[in-house]
A = this chain, B = another copy of it.
Amino acid sequence: MEDVAIVGVGQSSFSRKCEMTIKELVFEGFKEAMEGLDISHTDIDASIVCSSLYDNQRSAESPIAEYLGLNPQPTFLIENACAAGSTGLRTGWSFIKSGLYKIVAVIGVEKMSGQTSREAAEMMGRAYDVTWESSFGLTMPAGYAMHARAHMAQYGTTEEQLAKVRVKNSSYSVKNPKATFRKALSLEDIFESVVVVSPLKMLDCCANADGASCILLARGDVARTVAKTPVWIAGLGSASDTGVSRRKSFTSFICAQQAAKQAYAMAGVGPGDIDVAEVHDCFTIAEIIAYEDLGFAKPGEGPRLVEEEETYLEGRIPVNLDGGLLCKGHPIGATGGSQIRTVVKQLRGDAEEIQVKDAEIGLAHNIGGIGHYANVTILRR
């Protein structure tokens, strides 16, 4: 069977509120993904839209496919909370690997600014079990705050260490023209921001946003023909977990560990082989836990990684050099694709100011809910 490669990546600007429709947002990502490729929209055999549909439009795949000129090819929508984008990637990979299609567009989109923050928080809450979780007040910040408290209790992690994740990511977001927040933040900025759920302050949290992403996948032989630098999908891992109330651990996400193990095995590499990574930093604590779940640090030693600047551009394993969810903003369905885009640009050598020298193997780590779903994707130049 031919391998599968990523031949195009794109995203819209992410922002807190844009005037564009979801169709127009998607077009921005699609246009960038098609740039320099020797194909037209009619060569795309199928499209997959990844979204949680916070917008007024239901069944968004039909108007989106029409707007991009992707009829009469099949199209459908994948929802998987914040992990939809990477689930779409895995699904597109399967369609090509199975022999059914040659080129697949994986489109991510969310427009959240039509909801007030309170409405969006309520909708997000209903993504957890409405019988046993959201009905007792489990919100995203509350769930991650529990993990932060557990990590602090078990390993002595400090609020300052958490804040340092945001400091790092904000120092890179100034170089990302498509990020929502492009200001380098100090520890003081973070400590002075309002407490959301202790110990998490406003600037420990990512923000809802509007945005779209697009990843174009192609069968190996086609990829070599149409793209200058195909980036190969080397490892795919995916797992789920029960609701939060039935978990044994609050210092890690078991499903992320399982997904990482699968992806490393499939790619035939280990954590030490990864040159650059994008991890799901919906909250500062989430990036710390990701370091540990992915094997970049031992359990409890995640905070040291950012403190010793090992996850900075010049460090051992640079992480979230595009600003991460914390600074880019987190338009749910578009986030997974945006992570993949950054890793692909690194492996192509197109990452400009944030380029990791000679990056050959990259990883994207995408979590859905409060560790309800996890996907780990390993890419290779």
| B residues near A191, Cβ cutoff 8 Å | none
Which residue in chain B gives the minimum CB-CB distance to A77? Answer: B79
Q: Which residues of A contact B (CB under 8 A)?
A: 1, 21, 46, 52-53, 56-59, 61-63, 65-66, 70-81, 83-84, 87, 90-91, 93-95, 97-100, 123-124, 126-131, 236, 238-243, 246, 254-255, 258, 368-369, 372-373, 375
Which residue in chain B gives the minimum CB-CB distance to A368? Answer: B59
Query: If A131-B63, A240-B73, A369-B62 touch, does A126 touch B56 (CB 8 Å cutoff)?
Result: yes
Specify how many copies of this chain sit in the oligomer: 2
CA distance A63 to B135 in the complex (A): 14
Q: Are B123 and A58 in contact (CB under 8 A)?
A: yes
Q: Are B243 and A373 in contact (CB under 8 A)?
A: no
Query: If A52-B58, A80-B76 touch, does A243 touch B123 (CB 8 Å cutoff)?
Result: no
Q: Are B100 and A99 in contact (CB under 8 A)?
A: no
Q: Are A241 and B71 in contact (CB under 8 A)?
A: yes
Min CB distance A191 to B, Å, is 33
CA distance A83 to B79 in the complex (A): 15
CA distance A84 to B369 in the complex (A): 23
Extra pairs beyond A59-B126, A59-B127 (4, CB < 8 Å): A59-B81, A62-B81, A97-B99, A98-B98
| B residues near A56, Cβ cutoff 8 Å | 126, 130
A94 partner, pick from B71, B100, B236, beta carbons under 8 A: B100
Q: Are A236 and B72 in contact (CB under 8 A)?
A: no
Q: Are A99 and B1 in contact (CB under 8 A)?
A: yes
| B residues near A79, Cβ cutoff 8 Å | 53, 59, 61, 76-79
Contact sample, A vs B, 23 pairs, CB 8 Å cutoff: A53-B79, A56-B130, A57-B130, A59-B127, A59-B369, A61-B80, A62-B81, A62-B128, A62-B129, A62-B369, A62-B373, A70-B240, A71-B241, A72-B255, A76-B78, A76-B373, A77-B78, A90-B100, A91-B94, A93-B98, A94-B100, A97-B99, A98-B98
CA distance A74 to B243 in the complex (A): 14
Which residue in chain B gives the minimum CB-CB distance to A126? Answer: B58
Q: Are B74 and A59 in contact (CB under 8 A)?
A: no
CA distance A127 to B100 in the complex (A): 27
CA distance A71 to B65 in the complex (A): 33
Q: Are A57 and B126 in contact (CB under 8 A)?
A: yes
| B residues near A58, Cβ cutoff 8 Å | 52, 123-124, 126-127
Min CB distance A54 to B, Å, is 10
Q: Are B63 and A129 in contact (CB under 8 A)?
A: yes
Q: Are A21 and B131 in contact (CB under 8 A)?
A: yes
CA distance A131 to B79 in the complex (A): 22
CA distance A32 to B217 in the complex (A): 37
CA distance A76 to B52 in the complex (A): 12
Which residue in chain B gives the minimum CB-CB distance to A375? Answer: B74
A75 partner, pick from B59, B70, B93, B373, beta carbons under 8 A: B373
Which residue in chain B gives the minimum CB-CB distance to A67? Answer: B129
Q: Are B75 and A78 in contact (CB under 8 A)?
A: no
CA distance A61 to B239 in the complex (A): 12
| B residues near A97, Cβ cutoff 8 Å | 94, 97-100
Query: If A94-B91, A98-B98 touch, does A258 touch B62 (CB 8 Å cutoff)?
Result: no
CA distance A63 to B369 in the complex (A): 12
Which residue in chain B gives the minimum CB-CB distance to A82? Answer: B59
CA distance A348 to B342 in the complex (A): 50
Min CB distance A232 to B, Å, is 15
